[in-house]
Amino acid sequence: MNVREFTGDEGNTTQPAVWKVMGPISFAIIFILLGYAVMLYMKVGETRGSGSASSATSSSSRRK
């Protein structure tokens, strides 16, 4: 980060001022991406669940 505490330059912003802006933005990005990951995980679970059920019934009918 280009902040006053690291560079020593008085023209830069302070670290708390940067975190006031970037903290909520970072939280929002992480929250949205985690929600998207959960949605994809659930969608794949539904697809695999229906696929394995149909293959199980078809394989049991072949045995008869």
Tell me which residue range forms the domain holding 34. Answer: 4-63
Q: How confident is the model at residue 41 (pLDDT cuts 50, 70, 90)?
A: very high
pLDDT, position 62: 55
**Three-state DSSP class for 64?**
coil
**Cβ 15 vs Cβ 4: under 8 Å:** yes
Total count of domains within the chain: 1
Residue 59 pLDDT more than 90? no
Better-scored residue on pLDDT, 33 or 8: 33
33: Cα within 13 Å, side-chain hemisphere: 6
